Structure 1
Amino acid sequence: MIRVAVVDDEALVRLGFSLILNAAEDIEVVAAVPGGQALAAVAAHAPDLVLLDVRMPDIDGLTLLRELTDLPEAPVVAMLTTFDADEYIARALGRGACGYLLKDTDPDDLAPLVRSLVGGAVVLAPRIMPAVVDGYLRHHRDLGSGAERAAGLSERERGVLLLLAQGLSNTEIGRRLHLSTGTVKDHVSALLAKLGVTNRVQAALWAQRTGLLAADGAR
């Protein structure tokens, strides 16, 4: 079972997400709490994934995100928002969020998105992609030469990065490249270090920004 915690200040949102996700045979919502109770709920229930509201009155979502990602056994965290041009997007991704979902996501899409997140994929709502890219470029002007960083990647790491940037999970990348999931994880860790980024989302955006995806498609 995939264990999920929903953290949102609105009881109706918590109830709606819980009902939708609990209807899936392989997903269980183990906690649905406001922000102030999030850390205690995660400690008590050890969820695989936390769906975290960005804006809450009792605690700042970005502060809570940092606390969650700093845990020794940190869960995957995806941010929830009602806005498709949220100014917090780039900051959340920079602090370790692995996805950004809109609260009006189609209910039929929610369970597959949860599975993708837990499987290691980057999940970004299509409507927020322009805001993600624009925010990333504004906040990461110091990334250095794309050519220099790309040259530091091995051929295998480059292949993993290209598939990662297409939104594939570690398991899916392994199938494509005939590698074990553990080996894919090792390659992902190595390429993140070489690119100077902290998570898969930043790596995917780096590949898009530097033209690596376009260059690969042209070959």
Structure 2
Amino acid sequence: MPNLVHITPHRHATRMPRGGVAARSRGWDGDRGVYTMAVLPDFTLTHQWVRELRRWKPGVLVAVDLRLPGDEPVTVGRYGREPLRLTAAEAAGHVRELADPRGYEIFVPRAIRPTEVRRIRALPQGIGWRHVPDAHGRRPCTCPACLQPGTPGSARVRRRFPYDDPPVPKPQLMADLRAAVTPDEIVSALWALSGRRRGGAEELAHLADHPDPEVRETLADLLAGYRGRSARTLRDRLSAAGDAS
């Protein structure tokens, strides 16, 4: 009978010796069950999920020691990858034989019965990795998939490691526009300006008489978001040129 461990908030664990562990999680196939880890000779590897789970589960986490029948069907694998379908004994042996078992988990596709709960233990709250194994010293990915909105501390991490490149200052964009030579380069420079703060339409007046119609059309689209007399004058000028042609 393999020994497994389930990490859960203390407020949930107090009733598990009498009521078992509810099947609240979903596995790879969509079935409900309980995530566990094999008990390994290394204490840190056995409880490696503590630090990561603290990102999502408020309160103090504890270890719930379990003992399941060896022929119990489970799945085992590294998170985010399709798992193997083995018995509980085979899954525990598979994890013990890995050179690097970080990120591995054993999923039991059912609730855990009270008779299978051996004991509840206190745990240090800083064990294991966070975000991904080997994340320490690496720039974290702050895309919405990896760092979901509402994650504690996410705003601070995004300020420190912005997902998007910093915006190019408008003076630089205007310099790129002045340096553009071909119609394609000019159109690209105009589109780069489209997401920036409006104002200074007079800086674009020299393009109102450009011989390329695509440049004039792009300029007209850009000016639709500008305000002020200079912008209205340029829009009227482009409109009149279009009517004349």
Same fold by TM-score greater than 0.5? no
Name the structure where strand makes up a greater proportion of residues. Answer: 2
- TM-score, structure 1 length as denominator? 0.22
Task: Work out which of the two has the higher radius of gyration on C-alpha atoms and give 1 or 2.
Answer: 2
- TM-score, structure 2 length as denominator? 0.20
Name the structure where helix makes up a greater proportion of residues. Answer: 1
Question: 1 or 2 for the larger relative contact order (CA 8 Å, sep ≥6)?
Answer: 2
